[in-house]
Amino acid sequence: MLVVVLVLSQTVYGAGHEVIRVHDGDTIRVKGDSGELTIRLAGIDAPERFNKKMGFGQSFSQEAAKYLAGLVLNESVELKECGVDRYGRILGIIVLQGTDINLEMIKMGFAEVYRGKPVRGFDRAPYIEAQKEAVEKKRGMWVQGMEYVSPSDWLRSQRLERASSISLTKGDE
């Protein structure tokens, strides 16, 4: 009998990555031996910040970015790679002094568990449990209760609103 064992591994870049920029509540820029890398925190989705295409940002977007910056900016972190997203960013788990920063963002109510296709080999269970507790205790963005809108839903509505305003403008010409 032949037994095949499939091992899913994560590339660990090590602890030599200094966080040089926090883009928002789920994306950072690090500098290390391999140069600068943009990292999208795997397994989480934080409120969307202001950008030129969408305009104003989502509630709690600034708070999420500030909280993440307070945790990791100018710190040396360990990066566990989980893959690459469609924009070419590394999907990763950020660890600072033994703490899973991705999970910390969920625990404090500054991100939700990513609702899209999960990264292969990524264990969402602790993230789901942390989110349940954050919602129950109304931490961070969860204080909004029924007014809360998921970042993915918010982006979708902004894109639809933008598309309809563009088509209305063209119809006026």
- Active-site annotation, residues: 40, 48, 89
For residue 28, give Cα distances in angstroms to 34, 119, 147.
16, 18, 28
Strand partners, 70: none
Taking residue 33's Cβ as centre, other Cβ atoms within 10 Å add up to 8
Tell me which residue of 103, 101, 92 sits closest to 37, measured CA to CA. 92
Residue 147 is classified by DSSP as G
